[in-house]
Amino acid sequence: MYPDNFARFYDIIYNQLRNKDDHDFFLEQIRGSKGKVLEIGVGTGRFFIDALHGGADIYGIDISPPMIGILRKKLEESQQFRVSLQDILNFSFDFQFDLITAPFRVMMHVTEKADQLKALNNVYRHLKPGGKFIFDTFVPDLRQLIEGLDNKTDFEGEYKPGKSLKRSVSTTSDLINQLIHVNFNLEWEEEHSIQQELWYLPLRFFFRYELEHLVERSDFDSYTLMGNYNGEGLNADSRDFIVVCIKT
């Protein structure tokens, strides 16, 4: 549930922080799909807008009203039906999809074990036979989990000429419950004063075999696990888990 100003500045921050790897990967998957596509956690449309302009029959859901509001402003009125305020556990459509994606760590926001399984099975029900569900998580950095981050600035710049914007992040980890407690601090200049907004976000981190066991407990028939957005297998240098679940 992105707060208002985190949603307001989302595009500015992540246009700098995210590289093209995941963007190109997910767009390639969408372009390769011949039918309807659903993006879970659509946000402000980082993938969605390019996919729609490329001719994809794509829909998007998100749980954050501010994020959905920003995305709708980018769309022509005739296309706004494609995005809706829904969550991964309970979303519902009266048709099925050839491809469903949950990019940029959406599944890490699902912190409870029962909900993770519920999410996967809800996705499964909305896929056509032969359809795919693709999601990603990061490979846990054990040193960073233990040491955490202390008010680290991850973005500093301007959101418009002469107006500064800065974001910093602090983290601590609950190793038993596999939670990262993330605290964001957003500061920006407005009307000659510095404004501030804080946001707490819990993230569930996953290990390899935990992900495999989770998918195997779900309704999905088969899956593959990749170590980067180039489609390579897992190795010592992998920084991401990309999970491709297949409804056969």
What is the DSSP annotation of the chain?
A: ---HHHHHTHHHHHHHHS-HHHHHHHHHHHHH--S-EEEET-TT-TTHHHHHHTT--EEEEES-HHHHHHHHHHS-GGGGGGEEE--TTT---SS-EEEEEE-TTGGGG--SHHHHHHHHHHHHHTEEEEEEEEEEEEPP-HHHHHH-EEEEEEEEEEEETTEEEEEEEEEEEETTTTEEEEEEEEEEEETTEEEEEEEEEEEE---HHHHHHHHHHSS--EEEEESSTT-PPP-TT--EEEEEEE--
Determine the pLDDT at residue 82. 98
Look at the block and give the residue holding tokens 């909900």: 115
Determine the pLDDT at residue 20. 86
Beta-carbon contacts of 162 under 8 Å, excluding residues fewer than 6 positions away, are: none
pLDDT by 10s per residue, the chain, length 248: 789 999 999 999 999 998 789 999 999 999 999 899 999 999 999 999 999 999 999 999 999 999 999 999 999 999 999 999 999 999 999 999 999 999 999 999 999 999 999 999 999 999 999 999 999 999 999 999 999 999 999 999 999 999 999 999 999 999 999 999 999 999 999 988 999 999 999 999 999 999 999 999 999 999 999 999 999 999 999 999 999 999 99
What's the pTM value of the predicted model, to 2 decimals? 0.97
Look at the block and give the residue holding tokens 């048709």: 95
Determine the pLDDT at residue 26. 97
Determine the pLDDT at residue 205. 98
